[in-house]
Amino acid sequence: MKKIFIKIARLLGYEIIDQNNFTSPTLNKELNENLSIINKKSIVLPLGEVKIIKKVKSVLVILRMNTEVQIWDQNKKRLFEQPKVEYSIRSLNSLIKSTKFCKSKYPKIKFKIIVIDDSSKDKNLIKIKKLSKDNNIDIVKLNHNKYISIIKKQKTKETFSNLASLLQSFEMGKTEDSDLLFFVEDDYLHFESMMEEMIATYERIASQLERDIFMCPSDYPYLYTNNKKTNILIGSKRHWQTIDRTLCTFLTSKELLKKYWKNFYQTCLDRHDPFEKYLNKMYKNEICISPLKSLSLHLTNVNSDYGLAPFIDYKKLWKENKL
């Protein structure tokens, strides 16, 4: 009778929980295993199942890289005080590792990584090209000339280049065919589980809300410098909080990029105050979330409000991503 009941439950799309044996007979899994099925259902004990209607089948990752400039708008040194190329290479390496880990879990999801390189010296470019070639990553040079007549004249060439690379990444996201777009700066280190958790959480929360969302992989210090109210949501394997500000590293859908193209475009036309002024305006109408605790580490100066996420073993993550 038990076997028949299990078969009927499977046919009807239900899952059975045996709390005595701590198993799910319909899933053939222990309850401490991942019970979710990508593109189909998200299961979190004891909250139950969410049917996935926002399915992710392809992800485009665009990494903006400058291996020469330390911190483009500040005269400060980053944590560990290494040459900028060290941060860029480790950032790319951590992104590769996270993507590979996600592929091992979700082999049917298609990934593409593109690096937009801003004038790297030959010795640095050789390192980037080797790492990219070994992992089938496209490298595209930043086309400065294309944006001279579009972007307002800036005080420094570094500021212009930053705006130009951002606009080139947004334009690339607009033309490439992918469900999700992950815009990334090259001074972030990512945990191996980052990509898997971002995608699984995107499917769960976007399906619950029945709308596309924005996601930031880092838990920034500035989120805790005031008593602004937030909402806490359950993701795939951790809590997430709603936020109303991000930097320029975030994940979203192709549909939201098209819907708010004017905001994306205006962000790149001048050095606004704050820099992400027009991006932040989108979050007044759309849901944006960040993880608790962080999935990525922004390697800025140790005192920066926009930098180091709390409760992270910074040194361990730094060492793990050395080539």
Q: What is the 3-state secondary structure (H, E, C) of the chain?
A: CHHHHHHHHHHCCCCCCECCCCEECCCCEECCCCCCECCCEEEECCCEEEECCCCCCEEEEEEEECCCCCCCCCCCCCCCCCCHHHHHHHHHHHHHHHHHHHHHHCCCCEEEEEEEECCCCHHHHHHHHHHHHHCCCEEEECCCHHHCCCCCCCCCHHHHHHHHHHHHHHHHHHHCCCCEEEEEECCEEECCCHHHHHHHHHHHHHHHHCCCCEECCECCHHHHCCCCCCCEEECCCCEEEECCCCCCCEEEEHHHHHHCHHHHHHHCCCCCCCCCHHHHHHCCCCCEEEEECCCEEECCCCCCCCCCCCCCCHHHHHHHCCC
Q: Any idea what the CATH number is for the domain that residue 147 is in?
A: 3.90.550.10
Residue 45 lies in a domain: no
Query: Does residue 262 lie within any of the structural domains?
Result: yes
- Dihedral pair phi/psi, residue 157, rounded to 5°: -70, -25
**Judgement on whether residues 7 and 150 belong to the same structural domain of the protein:** no
Dihedral sign for Cα 303, 243, 57, 185, please: negative
95: its two tokens: 């992104």
- Considering the domain architecture, whether residues 111 and 252 belong to the same structural domain is answered as yes
| 48 falls within a domain | no
Same domain, 12 and 73: no
Tally of domains within the chain? 2
Tell me, yes or no, whether 17 and 112 share the same domain: no
Look at residue 1 in the predicted model and tell me its pLDDT: 73
Instruction: Find the radius of gyration of the CA atoms of the chain.
Output: 21
Is 294 part of a structural domain of the chain? Answer: yes
In this prediction, residue 23 carries a pLDDT of 86
Whether residues 159 and 223 share a domain: the answer is yes
Q: Are 8 and 134 in a shared domain?
A: no
State how far the Cα of 206 lies from the Cα of 214, in Å rounded to an integer: 9
Q: Are residues 169 and 282 in the same domain?
A: yes
Q: What is the per-residue pLDDT for 258?
A: 97
Same domain, 119 and 67: yes
Does residue 147 lie within any of the structural domains?
yes
Look at residue 84 in the predicted model and tell me its pLDDT: 94
**pLDDT number for residue 193:** 98
Determine the pLDDT at residue 150. Answer: 97
Are 79 and 23 members of one domain?
A: no
Q: Is residue 50 part of a domain?
A: no
Domain that holds residue 8: 2-33
Report residue 292: phi and psi, to 5°: -125, 105
Give the number of other CB atoms < 10 A from CB of residue 96.
20
Q: Note whether 105 and 18 are same-domain residues.
A: no
* Overall pTM surpassing 0.85 (yes/no): yes
Assess if residue 282 is contained within a domain: yes
Per-residue pLDDT of the chain (323 residues; tens, 9 = 90+): 767 766 776 676 677 777 888 888 888 888 888 889 999 999 998 888 999 999 999 999 999 999 987 776 666 789 999 999 999 999 999 999 999 999 999 999 999 999 999 989 999 999 999 999 999 999 999 999 999 999 999 999 999 999 999 999 999 999 999 999 999 999 999 999 999 999 999 999 999 999 999 999 999 999 999 888 999 999 999 999 999 999 999 999 999 999 999 999 999 999 999 999 999 999 999 999 999 999 999 999 998 999 999 999 999 999 999 98
Q: Are residues 20 and 85 both part of a single domain?
A: no
- Kindly state whether residues 154 and 13 are assigned to the same domain: no
Instruction: For residue 66, tell me if it sits in a domain.
Output: yes
